[in-house]
Structure 1
Amino acid sequence: MPIPIVNSVASWFLKKRFHQIELFLKYPNEVQEELLLDLVEEAKDTQIGKKYDFASIKTYREFTERIPISTYEEYENLIERSRLGESNIFWPKPIKWFAKSSGTTNAKSKFIPVSTQSLEDCHYAAGKDLLCMYLNNNPESQLFTGKSLRLGGSKELYEENGTVFGDLSAILIDNMPFWAEFSSTPSSKVSLMSDWEYKMQAIVDETIQENVTSLAGVPSWMLVLLNNVLETTGKQSLFDIWPNLEVYFHGGVSFLPYKDQYKTILPKKDFKYYEIYNASEGFFAIQDRNNSSDLLLMLDYGIFYEFIPMDTYGTPEETIIPLSEVEVNKNYAIVITTNAGLWRYKIGDTVKFVSTNPYRIKVSGRTKHHINVFGEELIIENAEDALKKVCKKTKAEIVDYTAAPIFMEGKEKGAHEWLIEFKTPPKDIDYFNELFDNALKALNSDYEAKRYNNITLNKPKINIARTNLFYDWLKANDKLGGQHKVPRLSNTRDYIDDLLRLE
């Protein structure tokens, strides 16, 4: 199909879709409440629906009074029964797919239900919206002259008792519409290879022959792949291989630590970066403007949102609020109710709103991935912003990092210990550390208060990790590729001690 026709079709779809987007932009809270009542109505005859008498719920307030907040551990028994083939437990339609995700919270695998509705009305709908928003912002785009290089999960799909589990990306690839398969590279056969290192070279060999116009995947693993592409071809720039490459759609981990490295291998000022925010539980937000770091919260994908202010999280005073009550620049844990049968479910992510008209967010971290041993409330967003600033000043480049507390012993004060693998190390690590400490103080007043005159916290301790330490740790823990990532911050020393043992 000629490109002008493809863009015209996309433009037609975009106009049609924008009417729906405008509806939730104009009436966000009404759209959300209507969505909630539709979900409750649809699930009223499920086991959960009967237990909490969904049939009589007519308002958000009744919903909150009836149904408790839940975590995966509290849902696990219901999910296991569903995986064994039992139907109508938490969603009326049979659940065939389960996205296997260990995340970084613990070693135990989670199996997140993925309904046909969540596939179609959430994940695939978001993919189409992303392309349409991009084309609307870039009408001269030649995206459809070539293919999208997608880097998904490294595991195949497994069937048990009539249900299927695997990486979310593997589920999406397996159910992908024909048009998406036609416009993507590598082939599904290569994408679903289970051996990550063998798969990596297979992707390189297949994709360097293609006209790649876009990239899609997690920044950390995509960078590994792209460096392999350059090494295999002997080129310095990706544009020497794919001259029509114009955009990278990324998500999964913060882009900040990797941005400068991408700019080195993609040396064009007008190259576009578009961020997405999705997880096994759903697709939540999309960057809808060029050169923006804010994400538009998508309110009509079959997901109802609630939020827990992090200053009350896990305390007796914990409060849960609807979207209509959020404030800008406050840190919130997300609670979702979905069209795959998750009811008031904590996903473990935290966000900050940068705007409430429309609702735009930035992902700030994980509820379990912060350091607050000394009351310093250090979150991932603080760490990434500080590292970005210091790397720019010292011309350093980071591959990966993790941090943990050094606990107080006797009269010894506490501190934070950082393990950082550099691609380009700073010339003076002590100067780097001084700048980093000052940057954290400037970004986080709680950290600054604990560091004042070393009252509670001593200066950070920075260890320079050997080359490939984090890669080797992920490999040893069978976490290569896909959505797997290194835990950035932790209140315990489990991760950092495990990594230090591999040094």
Structure 2
Amino acid sequence: MGWKSTLIRPYAAYISRKIDRMARNAKEDQHSIRQMIIQKARDTVFGRDHSFDRIKTYSDFKNHIPIHDYEGSRAYFDRVRDGESDILWPGKPKYFAKTSGTTSGTKYIPITQESLPNHFNTARNALFHYGIKQNNLRFLDGKVIFLSGSPILEKTNGILTGRLSGIVNYEVPGWLKKTQVPTWETNCVEDWEKKVDLIVQETKDIDLRLISGIPPWVQMYYERLLAATNKKTIKGLFPHYSVFVYGGVNFEPYRAQLEELVGQRIDSVETYPASEGFIAFQDTYPHEGMLLNTRSGIFFEFIPVSEFGREDAARFSVDEVETGVEYVLIINSNAGLWGYNLGDTVRFLSTNPYRLIVTGRIKHFISAFGEHVIGKEVEEALRNTIDKFPAQIVEFTVAPQVNPEEGLPYHEWFIEFGREPENIEEFSNELDRQMVQQNSYYEDLIIGNILRPLVVTPLRQNTFREYMKTKGKLGGQNKVPRLANDRDIAASLESLGKKS
């Protein structure tokens, strides 16, 4: 090991032990956090409006704090954005993480001084824990890259505002900044394609050991690296590259393509960051599922998807969750988020410790015929199908075709292949069989001749990149929705890349 990894190892081991303790003490920690944040915020506008001084038990908590999304509590968020103090949390936020909502327009998510450790320490902790458990802190002895959005921030009523991935750059400790690429100037470039080309030039001759980013944009980086260097594999270019850190999307649909570009399978660490908080991270390797971040300023709640939207919907703390159930994730935090519906759905793989997977978005599903197909089901069906066919997937999305020109309605899968299967018809048939196994309602619709088997529509190379570019969402932390209940995305993809 180099001097830096040797020097940091004792502290990394300390962090790893703390994570192990967090895994064991989740219930106690969660209720301590609930009491702490209520006490801290009792004199805020939100706290007074919702009688925080009368909240003693979790039952009181549920009775006084309603569930809502950003739009449902916009009046409070707008007052925070307008520069008022003590609205959702004491004082004013240090930053606003600016995001684009599907129904709320631009959202200004507060990041307070108290919530900063949740975002930034958790990312560090996840890497240190991996390094200790896998005996691989050697990535600290070379260069690391975090493919992110621009760090350029503006001010909103005196509060620094920008993308979360850009804000991160202001909190990176000095010891890491010396090993981090790209340069500040390159990171500030807004045009993603130009930015990637500049990153390629800055990194093609260095000792890069860790790469972090959303898989489709990392793939774009890999491809341009190989084109610029005439190397056959990324591992051939970066022989000490040993760990890939990702979040935001399921890695499995991209795994085969990315590993072919790398030249072999390397370690990966899954994370679950959001502008609203760092929710979970992988803590065993290799292992499916991420450890819930239960000791970091967030009190978590869970509503069964089957009950979501009902006035009498059950609302659980970690004490009450079960494995195998789809839940809508709710957070309450020291950033001043209360009963906040993050929009994600999760499922627990274990409750000792609390490990979960992200199964989709509560607003991203197909239920044009009552089937309620979710993201996890389509990803699992596609992964199982790929296991049986020599195919590689670049990107995909699914939409209903309710009024076809002829025949029964169907689900249409728009897929950009890295390697297309030899027989699309056989591939489609197997994919449909896998969907029948994933979703019993879908199976009933197929058997009952309400739907015909799904249709796969192959797309030209780079179609999804072109689509994201037209939406101003190329690169950074942007993701293609897996599912839609309408044909808006489908129509755009058909015009851009449908094969004749």
Flag whether TM exceeds 0.5 (same fold).
yes
Shift in Å at residue 132 of structure 1?
1.6
Structure 1 residues 317, 411: closer, same or farther in 2, change over 3 A?
A: farther
SS in 2 for 1:220: helix
The residue number in structure 2 matching 1:95 is 93
The residue number in structure 2 matching 1:298 is 293
Give the whole-Å Cα distance in 1 for the aligned partners of 2:477 and 2:389: 30
SS in 2 for 1:479: coil
Structure 1 residues 410, 212: closer, same or farther in 2, change over 3 A?
A: closer
Q: Contact 1:154–1:196 at 8 Å: present in 2 too?
A: no
What amino acid sits opposite 1:294 in the alignment?
A: G
The residue number in structure 1 matching 2:460 is 466
User: How is 1:67-78 mapped onto 2 (pairs within 5 angstroms)?
Assistant: 67-78=65-76
Q: Contact 1:134–1:288 at 8 Å: present in 2 too?
A: yes
Q: What is the CA deviation profile of residues 321-353 of structure 1, one whole-angstrom value per residue up to 9, with x for unaligned ones?
A: 111111101111100001110001000001110
What amino acid sits opposite 2:483 in the alignment?
A: L
Shift in Å at residue 414 of structure 1?
2.9
User: How is 1:194-213 mapped onto 2 (pairs within 5 angstroms)?
Assistant: 194-213=190-209
The residue number in structure 2 matching 1:12 is 10
Match of 1:28 among 20, 26, 47: 26
Give the whole-Å Cα distance in 1 for the aligned partners of 2:104 and 2:260: 35
Shift in Å at residue 48 of structure 1?
0.6
Structure 1 residues 404, 140: closer, same or farther in 2, change over 3 A?
A: closer
Structure 1 residues 40, 413: closer, same or farther in 2, change over 3 A?
A: same
Match of 2:160 among 161, 164, 178: 164
Query: Is 1:254 paired with 2:259?
Result: no
Structure 1 residues 107, 62: closer, same or farther in 2, change over 3 A?
A: closer
Could you list the runs of 5+ residues in structure 2 that have no partner in the other structure?
A: none
Query: Is 1:236 paired with 2:232?
Result: yes
Shift in Å at residue 445 of structure 1?
2.0
Match of 2:110 among 108, 113, 129: 113
Give me the TM-score of the superposition, normalised by structure 1: 0.94
RMSD of equivalent CA atoms: 2.0
User: How is 1:58-457 mapped onto 2 (pairs within 5 angstroms)?
Assistant: 58-102=56-100, 105-106=102-103, 108-119=105-116, 121-154=117-150, 156-269=152-265, 271-407=266-402, 413-454=408-449, 456-457=450-451
Structure 1 residues 155, 486: closer, same or farther in 2, change over 3 A?
A: farther
Shift in Å at residue 474 of structure 1?
1.0
SS in 1 for 2:130: helix
Could you list the runs of 5+ residues in structure 1 that have no partner in the other structure?
A: none
Give the whole-Å Cα distance in 1 for the aligned partners of 2:81 and 2:331: 21
Shift in Å at residue 4 of structure 1?
5.5
Query: Is 1:494 paired with 2:468?
Result: no
SS in 2 for 1:328: coil
Give the whole-Å Cα distance in 1 for the aligned partners of 2:136 and 2:245: 18
Q: Contact 1:154–1:481 at 8 Å: present in 2 too?
A: no
Give the whole-Å Cα distance in 2 for the aligned partners of 1:96 and 1:129: 22
Runs of 4+ residues over 6 Å off in structure 1: none
User: Number of residue pairs matched?
Assistant: 497
Give me the TM-score of the superposition, normalised by structure 2: 0.95
Q: Relative to structure 2, which stretch is displaced further, 141-150 or 224-233?
A: 141-150
What amino acid sits opposite 2:31 in the alignment?
A: E
* Percent of aligned pairs sharing the same letter: 35
Q: What is the CA deviation profile of residues 222-247 of structure 1, one whole-angstrom value per residue up to 9, with x for unaligned ones?
A: 11111111111111111221111000
